[in-house]
Chain A
Amino acid sequence: MLNEWLLSFARWLDSFAWSTEIHESFYLYAWIESTHVLTIMVFLGMLFVIDLRMLGLAFVDVPASKISERLDKPMMIGFALMVISGLFLFFAIPVRSTQSIWFRIKVVLLIAAGINAFLFRRKMKQAKGDWDTDRVPPKRMRVGAGLSLALWIGVIMTGRTIAYDWFDCHKELPYFMYWLAGCVDEMAALD
């Protein structure tokens, strides 16, 4: 049922003239996509430096909360750009994106990374006066940082594999793959 709803939503987006215009434009899609990829350097760049501090691998003489707080603004600027450009990319090719197993995994990883980030920020508030100036933060923070790195690397990887058609709906796939990817028409044909 969710698959049907998602596909209807995607087809509705696809019906807008602008969706096709962006997709078929010679330069516009390329520039939006380039922005999305390059902003990785800003958003994830800042995040990686914060995670390096949390793993005790950089800035060990600087309070962890200082690194986290100061790098937050440029990081969130980068994040905003990624979200905006990402939404445009989705809007340009909504049906294929919705039915891409890699895009779906990417969304799940994004949600997981978001939850991890929320929990991290909450723990950071308790850092001052506690482990803030320790060269190597406590294990739970290191695990959080490691998880953060793994999740965001997963987001990059799945983002890149969206472009490959290995598991696209038009391929011959097992039924459960059609279900995972939301290939509604193909599932109906097999039923």
Chain B
Amino acid sequence: MNKPILEKLAIVLSLVVVVVAMLFWVAQVGDVMETLCLAYGDWCFTEDP
């Protein structure tokens, strides 16, 4: 693969990595928040099953 194509691929795929990683980490934090919510429920809403 020539340089210009590699450069473009590098930019696009790097941005994909950044976005996916952000979603992954937010989901982990989201898990924590949900658990804290269930445990100490006063200050947040929980969906009734």
Tell me whether A176 is interfacial, beta carbon within 8 Å. Answer: no
**A34-84 CB contacts (< 8 Å) to partner B:** none
Question: For the complex, what is the distance from the CA of A27 to the CA of B34, rounded to whole Å?
Answer: 11
**A74-112 CB contacts (< 8 Å) to partner B:** none
Nearest CB on B from A46, distance (A): 23
**A7-31 CB contacts (< 8 Å) to partner B:** 26-27, 31
Question: For the complex, what is the distance from the CA of A31 to the CA of B36, rounded to whole Å?
Answer: 14
Smallest Cβ-Cβ distance to B31: which chain A residue: A27
Nearest CB on B from A35, distance (A): 13
Instruction: Give the number of residues in B that approach A within 8 Å (Cβ atoms).
Output: 5
Q: Mark B7-46, 1 if CB is under 8 A from A, else 0.
A: 0000000000000000000000001100110010000000
Give the residues in chain B near A31, CB-CB below 8 Å.
Answer: 32
Overall SS of chain B's interface: helix
Give the residues in chain A near B31, CB-CB below 8 Å.
Answer: 27
Smallest Cβ-Cβ distance to B38: which chain A residue: A26
Overall SS of chain A's interface: loop
Give the residues in chain A near B35, CB-CB below 8 Å.
Answer: 26-27
Nearest CB on A from B39, distance (A): 7
Smallest Cβ-Cβ distance to A26: which chain B residue: B35
Nearest CB on A from B3, distance (A): 26
Give the residues in chain A near B36, CB-CB below 8 Å.
Answer: 27
Question: For the complex, what is the distance from the CA of A25 to the CA of B39, rounded to whole Å?
Answer: 10
Nearest CB on B from A23, distance (A): 15
Nearest CB on A from B35, distance (A): 5
Question: For the complex, what is the distance from the CA of A160 to the CA of B35, rounded to whole Å?
Answer: 28
Question: For the complex, what is the distance from the CA of A16 to the CA of B36, rounded to whole Å?
Answer: 21
Pull 7 A–B residue pairs with CB atoms less than 8 Å apart, ordered by A. Answer: A26-B35, A26-B39, A27-B31, A27-B32, A27-B35, A27-B36, A31-B32
Report B's interface with A, CB cutoff 8 A.
31-32, 35-36, 39
Kindly list the 7 A-B residue pairs having the minimum CB-CB distance in the complex, ordered from nearest. A27-B32, A26-B35, A27-B35, A26-B39, A31-B32, A27-B36, A27-B31
